[in-house]
């Protein structure tokens, strides 16, 4: 496995990015891994490595770079002594991100991919968890000729009342969407399930929406107390099948 840190220049600064890909058989298709709210940590790097081991070049960008965070920065939600303070700080940083900012950051990532020796030219996939569910749907609409597959797990903000609600751009999406949700999730209102299926169908988007029974928000992360191994393995199966179907043309 080849892995390294690189700096990608954006309109707002330098976005430190973890990259990994197999050391043989390349170049290979690319997957952009958009992080969840707690930010970059070894848990996410391990998940990126798992995708890479089956034949992908994976980019894991630090989406909080505008806040001056680099390297191993991430919020620790396991320490109950200061959990409230940690969450407040995390939410403040999280709210600094917008769909427009993430779309703007994705352009330079695609430029980097075009010059990366381990990355194949052609269709790109992306995956997002938690706060990044909204971002992968936005990116799929913003780069329809490049984003061939987008997977979201317990994604938030996909359907909102705002003018930039990601679901409003469904008509621009040409790639395939896979949207998975937890059975119990206070962050995903019923309006998402009332709105999203009809919107995607009407827009002609190839998609699949699933609710994982017996799960809560965060079920795919091994370090979370809500981790459910069977559901997590199912999430890997669905994700890798999507990428295999859409990126290996």
Walk me through the domains of the chain, giving residue ranges and CATH numbers. 2-247 (3.40.50.1820)
Using the CB atoms, write b or e for 136-167: b if 16+ within 10 Å: bbbbbbbbeebbbbbbbbbbbbbbbeeeebbb
Which residues are CB-contacts of 82 (< 8 A; sequence separation ≥ 6)?
none
Looking at residue 70, its pLDDT comes to 57
80 pLDDT more than 70? no
* Per-chain mean pLDDT for the chain: 93
Residue 140 in contact with residue 155, Cβ under 8 Å? no
Model confidence over 88-108: pLDDT tens digits? 777 778 788 999 999 999 999
| pLDDT greater than 70 at residue 115 | yes
- Nearest CA among 210, 97, 199 for reference residue 157: 97
pLDDT over 80 at 72, yes or no: no
pLDDT score, position 94: 76
CA angle 245, 158, 39 (to 5 degrees): 85
User: Please, are residues 159 and 170 in contact by the beta-carbon 8 Å criterion?
Assistant: no
Whether the per-residue pLDDT at 240 is higher than 60: the answer is: yes
Q: Please state, for a pLDDT cut of 90, what percent of the chain lies above it.
A: 82
Backbone angles phi, psi at 230, to 5 degrees: -60, -40
What integer pLDDT is reported at residue 92 of this predicted model? 78
């Amino acid at each position: 496995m080849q892995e390294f840190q690189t700096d990608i220049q954006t309109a707002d600064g330098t976005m430190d990015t973890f990259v990994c890909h197999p050391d043989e058989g390349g170049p290979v298709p690319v997957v952009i891994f958009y992080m969840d709210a707690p930010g970059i940590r070894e848990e996410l790097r391990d998940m990126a490595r798992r995708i890479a081991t089956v034949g992908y070049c994976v980019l894991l960008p630090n989406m909080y770079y505008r806040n001056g965070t680099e390297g191993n920065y991430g919020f620790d939600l396991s320490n109950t002594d200061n959990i409230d303070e940690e969450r407040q700080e995390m939410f403040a940083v999280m709210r600094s991100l917008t769909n427009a900012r993430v779309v703007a950051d994705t352009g330079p990532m695609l430029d980097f991919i075009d010059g990366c020796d381990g990355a194949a030219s052609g269709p790109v996939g992306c995956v997002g968890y938690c706060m990044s569910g909204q971002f992968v749907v936005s990116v799929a609409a913003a780069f329809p000729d490049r984003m061939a597959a987008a997977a979201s797990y317990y994604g938030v903000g996909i359907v909102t009342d705002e003018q930039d609600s990601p679901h409003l751009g469904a008509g621009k999406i040409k790639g395939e969407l896979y949207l998975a949700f937890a059975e119990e999730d206070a962050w995903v209102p019923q309006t998402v399930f009332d709105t999203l299926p009809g919107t995607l169908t009407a827009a002609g988007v190839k998609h699949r929406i699933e609710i994982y029974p017996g799960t809560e928000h965060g079920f795919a992360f091994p370090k979370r107390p809500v981790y459910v191994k069977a559901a997590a393995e199912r999430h890997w199966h669905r994700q890798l099948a999507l990428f295999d179907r859409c990126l290996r043309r």
